[in-house]
Structure 1
Amino acid sequence: MHFIQDYERNGAYTGFPILGIEWQKMENPDLRMSMGMDSDQKGVLIKRIEPTASECQVLKPSDVILSFNGINIANDGTVPFRHGERISFSYLVSQKYTGDRALVEVLRNSKILEFNIKLGTHKRLIPAHIKGRPPSYYIVGGFVFTAVSLPYLRSEYGRDYEFDAPVKLLDKLLHAMAQSADEQLLVVSQVLAADINVGYEDIVNTQVLAFNGKPIKNLKTLARMVESCDEEFLTFELEYQQIAILRTKAAKEATLDILKTYCIPSTMSRISRGEADFTC
């Protein structure tokens, strides 16, 4: 279980804010016309807004961002830079700090609106850091569950994780947005081979979608559901329509022996006081 023992810790947390949106260029004249833009107006189109971002309270998909803090944004998403160069307008956001405010001018239904937005750091489904903590995990029947983070991908696939990690995980890293502050992307990191899990040994870094028919929100929820389960079977619904089923009583009884075999001290990650720690 090398990801627990040899985990690569992420660097210092900077706390720089982001504008919690996804946008697209507006270089096509028909696109600009359909959004009610005048010939002299330029900007970028908001595609999606992160549900956990404060911006979702004021900005809307299909808004056209015309300027950021008084600096006009071109149709390709760039703003003036030094010596006549241009750079992505996200550079302007990166010059701010968490808690700073910025004036965002948008076009909505052919009307120009201004919003004074407080910038913050937002919860991505796959976070870029875990603030120096070791990874959270939960083990039952040899199945090792963990929440995916960028440091975890680096620990599993090395510096070239952008090329070696599964395409589905990379797609979620780039595009998936958390629907709530405590939502996590869970995977079966690996299966510690034992009699109870024969046939499941090849499951590696496979996303977990549901447990006993109920969607899973995060690792803490999964652990509670499994630990309190009194049904005959533990049924884990995985990606690609794959399922893993274990007898509840047998899986829980086998877990302690599996931990001893692999020299793992606990079924779940713990902080210094010995309490379960599922935060990522």
Structure 2
Amino acid sequence: INPGNSGGPVIQEDAVVGVAFQGMPGLENTGFFIPPPIIQHFLKDIDDGRYDGFPLAGIRVTPLQNPAHRAFLKLAENGSGARIDSIMPMSSAKGILEEDDVLLKVAGYEVGSDATILYDGNRLHMTAALQGAQVGEKVEMEVWRAGASRTVQVPMGTNDTERVLSNQYDVPPRYFVYGGLVFTPLSVDYLKTFGRNWTDSANAELVYELYYRRTEHPENSRPEAVILATTLSHPVNANLKVQGRTLVNRINGRPINRLEDVIAAFGSGTNQQHVIEFLPNNGIECLSRPEADRANPEILKSYGIAKDRRL
């Protein structure tokens, strides 16, 4: 697929069979295109004027091919069934599926012991059956639990963790500016501001917060971690030691679990000083409330920022 041809029709004989997508450097006569099922899913998705994307059950399924393990679970040695290894903390399947359930069928497709299904003549991972549904729809699953099979209906949701961990396109960054302090949600797009080798050069606590906390310590994870991204220099913030690239824990005693909490926290209380607490070392900074209130319009004007927030 030559540059500029992406988005054009892919034609086989006299039929359009997809949309040209991309090529791959180093491969001869090879290109990739978006097939009709993906296009049809997208068109149905946006019928309501909103794009939700492809759904996820929020479960991890692993092969179950060890005969001893299958015998322990009282499973027939028929090549069917894969183990649900873990359920993500914010999964829509929580309370319906359980860890150590054995997945036997998904949306009518039999799940093999290698966690694949026979889908349009090909062996694909069982998640292919889930992604045919729309967000909010329920998918029927048959599971083996405590020595017996049962059928459950699992609602399909969106996994915000996956969205945070992927690149965002055509979406302006969200932010809030107060007293020259710029707050924004932690995302992979932000981590890439550390440079090409951001996985090595970014602050370790930021990488951990984004990639590992939800699975290692779900009880302490936040729906949306917020960071002080940078500080726009002004006399009101001249004495602050923390200038940016730091996780925000609390503001004026209020936990910060999403960007909207930052706005609410600065608007709360009557103390003359705002108290901002950071992670991982519990650093504290104070900002004069009346001085920050007065300085904010001036800072926005000086730096050419039209609005103090984009949510």
TM-score > 0.5 by shorter chain:
yes
Q: Distance in 2 between matches of 1:170 and 1:25?
A: 29
Alignment-mate amino acid for residue 91 of structure 1: A
Q: Indicate if the aligned counterparts of 2:186 and 2:226 stay in contact, CA closer than 8 A.
A: yes
Give the aligned partner of residue 94 of structure 1.
131
Over the aligned positions, Cα root-mean-square deviation in angstroms equals 3.6
- Report the more deviating stretch, 259-268 or 36-45: 36-45
Please say if 1:78 is aligned against 2:119.
Answer: no
Alignment-mate amino acid for residue 241 of structure 2: Y
Alignment of 1:175-190 (within 5 A): 176=214, 183-190=223-230
Give the aligned partner of residue 209 of structure 1.
249
Please say if 1:60 is aligned against 2:98.
Answer: yes
Q: Distance in 1 between matches of 2:286 and 2:62?
A: 46
CA gap of 1:160–1:238, structure 2 versus 1, over 3 A, is: same
Give the aligned partner of residue 230 of structure 1.
270
Give the aligned partner of residue 253 of structure 1.
294
Q: Indicate if the aligned counterparts of 1:233 and 1:245 stay in contact, CA closer than 8 A.
A: no
1:134 to 146, 160, 172: 172
Give the aligned partner of residue 86 of structure 2.
47
- The DSSP-based 3-state class of the residue aligned with 1:252 is helix
1:108 to 120, 130, 145: 145
Q: Distance in 2 between matches of 1:79 and 1:162?
A: 35
Which structure's residues are more often strand, by fraction? 2
Alignment-mate amino acid for residue 44 of structure 1: R
CA gap of 1:22–1:220, structure 2 versus 1, over 3 A, is: same
CA gap of 1:25–1:221, structure 2 versus 1, over 3 A, is: same
- The DSSP-based 3-state class of the residue aligned with 2:297 is helix
Please say if 1:18 is aligned against 2:56.
Answer: yes
The normalised TM-score by structure 2 is 0.65
- The DSSP-based 3-state class of the residue aligned with 2:294 is helix
The normalised TM-score by structure 1 is 0.71
- The DSSP-based 3-state class of the residue aligned with 1:124 is helix
- Report the more deviating stretch, 74-83 or 132-141: 74-83
Q: Indicate if the aligned counterparts of 1:49 and 1:60 stay in contact, CA closer than 8 A.
A: no
Q: Indicate if the aligned counterparts of 2:254 and 2:265 stay in contact, CA closer than 8 A.
A: no
Q: Distance in 2 between matches of 1:211 and 1:192?
A: 19
Q: Distance in 2 between matches of 1:260 and 1:199?
A: 21
Q: Indicate if the aligned counterparts of 1:186 and 1:218 stay in contact, CA closer than 8 A.
A: yes
Q: Distance in 2 between matches of 1:63 and 1:198?
A: 56
Q: Distance in 2 between matches of 1:223 and 1:232?
A: 17
Q: What's the CA shift for 1:114?
A: 0.9
Give the aligned partner of residue 240 of structure 1.
280
Q: What's the CA shift for 1:145?
A: 0.6
CA gap of 1:120–1:129, structure 2 versus 1, over 3 A, is: farther
Q: Distance in 1 between matches of 2:70 and 2:208?
A: 28
Q: Distance in 1 between matches of 2:191 and 2:274?
A: 27
Q: Distance in 2 between matches of 1:91 and 1:172?
A: 29
Higher RCO (CA-CA < 8 Å; seq separation 6+):
1
5+ long unaligned stretches in structure 2: 1-45
Alignment-mate amino acid for residue 138 of structure 1: F
Q: Which has the larger radius of gyration?
A: 2
5+ long unaligned stretches in structure 1: 1-11, 270-277
CA gap of 1:170–1:64, structure 2 versus 1, over 3 A, is: farther
